Chain A
Amino acid sequence: EAQVTQNPRYLITVTGKKLTVTCSQNMNHEYMSWYRQDPGLGLRQIYYSMNVEVTDKGDVPEGYKVSRKEKRNFPLILESPSPNQTSLYFCASRPDRGVTEAFFGQGTRLTVV
């Protein structure tokens, strides 16, 4: 089954404790991205990657890191999480840019206390 898989689905952590949210897709898509969803703000792009070893900042990249060492994986790293990073996070993949739609993971609900 074609899918985007995120782990974990739920995470509660403390301020400053490094964490990684994993994302994997099995559709051989070149393009992957991370979004955060906050009430009243919709989805905002954090980082994106157009291919292996190619990443770039989205609209809200501060406090986040990503890497793309393999085509299928695109982990999101929070080196020192803060409470304002409490949010719902989505990983998405697309075959390429332009006309193609994005396929989304199930989401990761992160709470930083």
Chain B
Amino acid sequence: AQSVTQLGSHVSVSEGALVLLRCNYSSSVPPYLFWYVQYPNQGLQLLLKYTSAATLVKGINGFEAEFKKSETSFHLTKPSAHMSDAAEYFCAVSDKDKIIFGKGTRLHILP
């Protein structure tokens, strides 16, 4: 079965600093990977997805993620954090009949 592991349930960065949220996947076949963001009191919104077309995937709000097969990773980055980026982020993998989510990383932005 496929799975994803997110390293760090809470991450704090200063406004303007690099954001790095880590995700490792486990899959026996080429995976379809996603990053979702959840703002307070809202549903999940797709940030970006990897479907094997390109290893570097650009998403909304300045986020991007790089698929590294050798490291089984799909880390999410943003060069410069903004206060509005404070939210919970979920890495996910598509596994036939469902999307399997990691446990989430809450991103805190320090002024």
Contact = CB atoms under 8 A, between A and B. Distances in A.
B43 A106 contact: yes
Contact of B51 (A92, A97, A99): A99
10 contacts: A42-B101, A42-B103, A43-B44, A90-B43, A90-B44, A94-B99, A101-B46, A104-B44, A106-B42, A107-B42
Contacts of A74: none
A94 B45 CA distance: 13
A102 B103 CA distance: 17
Nearest to A91: B43
B96 A104 contact: no
B28 to A, nearest CB: 15
B104 to A, nearest CB: 5
B55 interface: no
Interface in A68-113: 90, 92, 94, 97-107
A101 B93 CA distance: 10
Size class of B's contact patch? 20 to 34
Contacts of A50: 97
B25 interface: no
Nearest to B42: A106
Nearest to B53: A99
A101 B90 contact: no
Contacts of A58: 98
B98 A98 contact: no
Interface string A34-56: 01000011111100101000001
B34 to A, nearest CB: 6
A35 B98 CA distance: 10
B98 A45 contact: yes
B76 to A, nearest CB: 15
B27 interface: no
Contact of A40 (B9, B41, B42, B51): B9
Name the 8 nearest CB pairs between A and B, nearest first: A104-B43, A42-B103, A43-B101, A104-B44, A42-B101, A106-B43, A99-B51, A45-B98
